[in-house]
A and B are shown apart, each in its own frame.
Chain A
């Protein structure tokens, strides 16, 4: 049955394979053999690499083996573009077709195709590659049966059907409150059943309950906890609590179109027929985005209408106002519902990672435990989907390069078992993901040696510790002494950084030699609205995210201390905070004296540091709709997006952390190996 986490992850892997294969085909088709594009070759390489990585997690030995050899061929092409010819491009196409056959054979558990082997052999010969020793000797994969008990998950979720009787209401019980209490037990999928209303208005008795609910709760909940919630209404309702094979709520909540297998309509099994067909939610993301945008417009429109009505001085109890209130409420509900389509807990992502860690621990002979924190943290579905690859790479890197073998750990006075901590939380209106390992940390001398030997940096350029750590994000950088089947040939941290940037996020490394490494990813929630404070500065209207404002205060000129080179600090309750004029920082005005006051916003940044921002006035606090600027303007220092205010005016949304940070290091994307 498909209703267990493993089957879901596996189905997800094959869906991902389809996308990757499509990318692979498109990229090979787009390859210009005269002047091969390095990015395109990297994309091709990574597609095969990703398929290999996922296949290894499920123990699809033949698929891994084929992808591994194919990757070897592509690695050769990546280092020397001049080897690419038109005939070779066709062979790459054939090899990709063979890879697709291998994927299908893994999916359908049929015997794998063999024709691809000769193509690979031919490619290897043309590239002058001796057969990779790994293929013959030490590259093998030991499939490991998944033990569901280690996931602490039973296969069947709880299904609760709850139909209140009239006496439930007359005794002061409220179904909504019971549902709320249930939700504290775990992610609850709630479906309201309205059959009681089907008989129509003539038959409708307002004194009789007409609604009932069907709920699905995570399998790991204890039945007694569910029963406790219903303790007071026992006998006042019809209640059934059972374990039902049902897809987990986070999958279903994403479903828009339910794909059901229909044997009659499809008598001949097509090669693409899925073995694990679960009601999957396949939504064209563009449609959801379009809906989101429209709802954003709706919210702006509603705000503008409200403003016009207020300006027209219409009486509060007039039908116009009543109608407007209902409209406002509905708009809010539509907005929340649309958000809910996209907001998902990070739990499935983390679940996938815990399996990855177990498998990787076995294949590397290291002892590793994964601690996950904040699984219920919700974030936009796109963000979750696009985090899978970067996180996979980062965890593999942590296992391969961070965590030491048990003997080495013991010698260093550590526990033989390494710990990787994966933590998600909302902070300052962003999603923060922290990946911490207690391994050896970054060997900076080695990183420098390799970077110099690869020509990534000049030998004499001085680098501080942070800059050295960031060299790991350069394409093609790999510090592993030998190529490992796990994290591969230096695909990894460059992919991570590109993917995170693509989401409008940031990634940073902090490492303590001997103590471990911490990767911190900061991502916008990309939920299309934001609670903001509207401020005026230098005749501009700007929005500051409320989440980054700790407090506001009047600016007392006596509390400002100049500390040279145009910098100043604000003395506040005996401490000092760096002080900035928002208008100056954004280039709206030259530095001015603030003798006649102004307002300071005390802001908190993602690294928990604080600073003070001077603005002229505060207009109001309100929710604003985020309108992205990235697509049209790229990254603007200090500005995360824009919004449209109730009066139709466009206002920029300030990102205080970005604004007050040093301009980022120039992107190292240009240093593609080869």
Chain B
């Protein structure tokens, strides 16, 4: 019961707005002090905390995080996303809805290596909203597309939230097997999750694009084609493609391909990606000492932010479990009607609601370690579970009135975009997301087939 009170207390204190990582750790600490004073918590349980900290520091998988962040930061600072967007729009030429389709593709490929929903949507919003509105796109369609595209990158590899989720799920999977008395452990890796997320990700991108093309055909006034004299042709078009489109695409393909083909671990691929991005920036002459240091600083800042949350969340889950929270959750989830299905639905709804106040990273570190082992013990597949969670959270970030993505897009949008327009614009994308979740629930093989072939 106290574990539940602790969860509620932490949510309440979080709403005050003090940094999440420190709130998680601080509230947990006060509960731990209370528990040791009245004798509910054995003080020796807290002694394990330094070795937990050391576990976070020496975790080889998570080394991929700063490397992917660096790649994202460098690509952003070198304005590669902008040029990619321009090049794709030029390629689409006079096709109606071409710009919208380009925004979806750029979002999926480039936007999310830093893993923070707010930052991604802001970047995509600044990048594409003014152009779309200038071209005469309806504000609802433009903003819906950007919000959806900005969050989509989160679940398409390479993204850091998949690295984090993969790491947390892999320890949850081990825990679940040990609890079932299985000692010849099967493992699930970040690579598995990357590969597993690929087909659902591609399906989502395709569904977005089909929706935009159909809408452009049915209601041409919502996304007019660019005037003919603004479309580059011939040599000029090819030059733009070679400069703007080829380099970032090659980089993404190299990073993803080396993981898919089993050449490299995600950490190695991330190092290659980061150096590739630096190289691209250098070739463009954008890499002086100041630019290097500022990319490094941005990277250090995001990295320490992510890991401080991890540290705070591990103190939280340690105290939560010291109060028997893990057993409560286990009993609660296994007592639900419908077995694994009931438990899954319950967890998905909980995560969806938490997505209104917490970002992907926090939910991964706080909620997944608690519910993950229980769900996996009920026989769910870890890769499938990870992909379902990722798409579910992405949907949550898009859902009015609290969705993160909307909140941040509103912040950078010009006044001519009204909030109801924004809400109307995302509804079709939410429908696509929910459709995808249902599809994935009916055919788990969409997520599990590819990893079983690749590895």
A binds B: no
Interface residues of A (CB under 8 A from B): none
Interface residues of B (CB under 8 A from A): none
